[in-house]
Chain A
Amino acid sequence: MAAPALPARRMSGIDLAGLGRRWGALVLVAVWLLIVLLPGIAAPQDPLALNTSNTLAPPSAHHFFGTDEAGRDLWARCVWGVRYSLGIAVLIVIGAAVIGTVIGGVAGLFRGPIDTVLMRTTDVFLAFPYLILAIAIASAVGPGLTTVVVALTAVWWPGYARMVRGQVLALKELPFVEGARAAGTSTFAILYRHLLPHLLPQLSARISMDVGYAVLALTGLSFLGLGAQPPTPELGAIIADAHSHLLVAWWYTTLPGLFVLAAVLSAMVVSDWLEARNKSRFA
């Protein structure tokens, strides 16, 4: 029974007023899909077009976000930049999730020395502060967007491995797994066909949440110069460039970040919806 004398609590979730979680999430996903797949519609200007006569111009009707130091339309660069950010973030997170699931699943199912080795490795990865490790890997491999993917995937998979291992350990005690084993199903088949459906809800909620965090992480790496190289528009790199012009071009500094903020918030809304759905289904 809940504690008496103390009033009942309810945690507030993210709820777009009136629309409710599901529609909010789906609308956002649709909008971002549009931006990612058809950037030309969202941004008519060419993100790479130089225009030295119109550098660092404030926002106007022609250039929503103004222009950067090379006269390029900032809005277009942001739109194209966010494509990279979201696309790569999704790639990273899904890659990390797959690797982590396999490793965590194998560790959890086999136990014994395999489990120990895998988990010790995971521990070493997790011992690094996440961004520091990413920086170290990215610097070693050499800057570029592929590097960022490799580095961040390497940083992200341990979290999934741990989570999946924990769940597999709990699940494998259940009778239906024993039944599968008794029927002679191979371990991988057990993992894939029997356990995965149970893992998916929690995984998907976490994946969508992590997409947001991955966007933040990769913009961070780009900010440090380790990600996309010029002239590829990437939000972190754009913000880094903006720093040199902090005093004269407020729009250059402030507006691209809002794009990142919007993308991450959307990921959080989607994640929130998935989590709520999981709770109502399985609680």
Chain B
Amino acid sequence: MAPAAANSAMCEVTDLTVAYQSGDEWLRAVRSVSFEVRRGEILAVVGETGSGKSTTATAVIRMLPANGKVVSGRVMFDGRDLVHLPSQEMRRLRGQDIAYVPQQPMSAFNPTMTVGRQVAEPLLIHRRANASDAAREASKRLKEMGIREVDRVMKAYPHQLSGGMLQRAMIATAMICQPRLLILDEPTSALDVTIQRQILALIKQVQSEYRLAVILISHDLTVVSQVADRILVMYGGRAVEIGATEAIMNRARHPYTRGLLRSTMAGEREHKAKLASLAGYPPAPHDVDSEQGCPFRPRCPRAVDQCSTMFPPFSAGGADSWACFNPEPVE
């Protein structure tokens, strides 16, 4: 396996379609999503609940629940298609080459095991380290992640630590085997605003120090705009817009992205409009699966007839590409 060149794609997802089983039928939750993440960049995947963003991330690391499966598509990592990798190989990648930081650090830790042991665990799994060596390494990492009372944290149980500290510990755990791809699922949603900033700064710092490829899942455009290099916007199981952060935040072309921007503080700056919410509700799983055209059509102020016939193909323009028959004009 040749090491990835400086700017080549670390992970390339092509036409990924993931479905869940509900009763007798399989409902697609993610439809033909494509993107890539390069070494040394942070790609944020943004969308509302039910947009399929978490499912996409989970599918990349092959951790879908028992009732979910990848229907079609490819996930290339290191020249290998993860979708068809034997499970033994996949297990070797997890925690070692590809790390996943789950939501809600407070519940993601095992309540009856010390934090130290849990942080050291990937070493025990992958490197067959002995307990003391692993503990030493874990302490080092915790310090690196900005934890000051390392000894106390190592011996502590999850319920004795704050959310911020646990998140730092979780990131330490993810980094302990020096992975090349890091996936973070809503890393700041469960935290206070001040802690959010710290964690985001930490992510940025770790990413640049280790030249990681990072996929950051979030529903909060404001949060990700602070650290992401590129943003992928998802809606109703589809990728609707993807581009450089600057382009998205200032010149988003897809009506949904614009809507999102208008409903956040970041958008207000540009448009000097009042905080406006999007009318209507995101589609239910059944509709996500059955929709022929664009899933945003029912809520879209710019919908045209063509929008109900098929999902629009991507058009590119500068550092941005969008899937829309009637995109917002450039200002």
Q: Closest CB of chain B to A126's CB: distance in Å?
A: 28
A2 / chain B contacts, CB cutoff of 8 Å = 65-67
Chain B residue nearest in CB terms to A7: B66
Whether the Cβ atoms of A8 and B63 lie closer than 8 Å is: no
Complex Cα gap A148–B92 (Å): 63
Closest to A1 in B: B65
Q: A5 contacts which chain B residues (CB < 8 A)?
A: 62-63, 87
Closest chain B CB from A10 CB (angstroms): 11
Least Cβ distance of A1 to chain B in Å? 5
Instruction: Say if the beta carbon of A127 comes within 8 Å of chain B.
Output: no
A6 nearest CB neighbor, chain B only: B66
Mark A6-26 against chain B: 1 for CB-CB distance below 8 A, else 0. 111000000000000000000
B67 CB contacts on chain A under 8 angstroms: 2, 8
Q: Output the residue of B63, B64, B66, B68 with the most chain A CB within 10 A.
A: B66
* Subset of 21 A-B contacts with CB under 8 Å: A1-B65, A2-B65, A2-B66, A2-B67, A3-B65, A3-B66, A4-B58, A4-B62, A4-B63, A4-B64, A4-B65, A4-B66, A4-B68, A5-B62, A5-B63, A5-B87, A6-B66, A7-B66, A8-B65, A8-B66, A8-B67
Binding site for B on A (CB under 8 A): 1-8
In the complex, chain A residues whose CB is within 8 Å of the CB of B87: 5
> Binding site of A, secondary structure by majority: helix, strand, loop or mixed?
loop
- Docked Cα-Cα span, A226 to B300, in Å, equals 80
Bound complex: CA A7 to CA B68 (Å): 11
Q: How many A-B residue pairs have CB under 8 A?
A: 21
What residues of B have a CB within 8 angstroms of the CB of A7 in the complex?
Answer: 66
Query: Which residues of chain A are near B65, meaning CB under 8 Å?
Result: 1-4, 8
Question: How far apart are B303's CB and chain A's nearest CB, in angstroms?
Answer: 33
Write out the residue numbers on chain B whose beta carbons fall within 8 Å of the beta carbon of A3.
65-66
Q: For chain B, what secondary structure do more than half of its interface residues adopt (helix, strand, loop), or is it mixed?
A: loop
B43 shortest CB reach to chain A, Å = 23
The 10 closest A-B pairs by CB, nearest first: A8-B66, A4-B63, A2-B65, A1-B65, A4-B65, A4-B64, A7-B66, A2-B66, A8-B67, A5-B63
Task: Give Cα distance in the complex from A37 to B87, angstroms.
Answer: 61
- Residue of B58, B62, B63, B65 with most partner-chain A CB within 10 A: B65
Q: Please, what's the 1-or-0 string for B65-93, where 1 marks a CB less than 8 Å from any CB in chain A?
A: 11110000000000000000001000000
Least Cβ distance of A46 to chain B in Å?
A: 57
Supplied contacts A4-B66, A4-B68, 18 more A-B pairs, CB within 8 Å: A1-B65, A2-B65, A2-B66, A2-B67, A3-B66, A4-B58, A4-B62, A4-B63, A4-B64, A4-B65, A5-B62, A5-B63, A5-B87, A6-B66, A7-B66, A8-B65, A8-B66, A8-B67
A4 and B66 CA atoms in complex are apart in Å by 6
Give the Cβ gap from A31 to chain B, nearest Cβ, in Å: 35
Q: State in angstroms the CA–CA spacing of A4 and B62 once bound together.
A: 8
Given the complex of chains A and B, what is the CA–CA distance between A1 and B67 in angstroms? 10
Shortest distance in angstroms between B176's beta carbon and chain A's nearest beta carbon?
21
Residues in B whose Cβ lies below 8 Å from that of A4: 58, 62-66, 68
**A8 proximity list for chain B (CB < 8 A):** 65-67
Q: In the complex, what distance in Å separates the CA atom of A215 from the CA atom of B67?
A: 42
A residues near B63, Cβ cutoff 8 Å: 4-5
Whole-angstrom distance between the alpha carbons of A7 and B87 in the complex? 13
Bound form: Cα–Cα A1–B103 in Å = 12
In the complex, what distance in Å separates the CA atom of A1 from the CA atom of B66? 9
Q: What chain A residues lie within 8 Å of B68 (beta carbons)? A: 4
A252 to B116 Cα, complex, angstroms = 65
Question: What's the nearest-Cβ distance from chain A to residue B327, in Å?
Answer: 35
Give chain A nearest CB distance to B319 CB in angstroms. Answer: 35
B289 CB, nearest partner CB in chain A, Å: 19
> What is the distance, in angstroms, from B20's C-beta to the closest C-beta of chain A?
10
For B62, the chain A residues whose CB sits under 8 A away are: 4-5
In the complex formed, the residue of B with least CB distance to A4 is B63
Chain B's closest residue to A8 (CB) is: B66
CA distance A2 to B68 in the complex (A): 10
Residue of A nearest to B87 (CB): A5
User: Which residues of chain B (39-70) have a CB below 8 Å from chain A?
Assistant: 58, 62-68
User: How far, in Å, is A152 (CB) from chain B's closest CB?
Assistant: 39
A4 to B61, CA, bound (A): 11
Most buried by B among A2, A4, A7, A8: A4
Contacts of B64 in A (CB 8 A): 4
How many angstroms from the CA of A3 to the CA of B87 in the assembled complex?
15
Candidate in A1, A2, A7, A8 with the most chain B CB atoms within 10 angstroms: A1
Q: How far is the CA of A8 from the CA of B65 in the complex (A)?
A: 8
- Cα–Cα distance between A41 and B296 once the two chains are bound (Å): 71
Closest to B55 in A: A1
Shortest Cβ gap from A16 to chain B (Å): 24
Q: Which partner residue on chain B sits nearest A9 by CB separation?
A: B66
Whose C-beta in chain B lies nearest to the C-beta of A3?
B65
A245 → chain B, closest Cβ, in Å? 55
Q: Write the nearest CB–CB distance from B323 to chain A, whole angstroms.
A: 28
Q: In the complex, what residue of chain A is closest to B68 when comparing beta carbons?
A: A4
Query: How far is A6 from B68 in the complex, measured between Cα atoms in Å?
Result: 12
Closest A residue to B58 by CB, please name it: A4
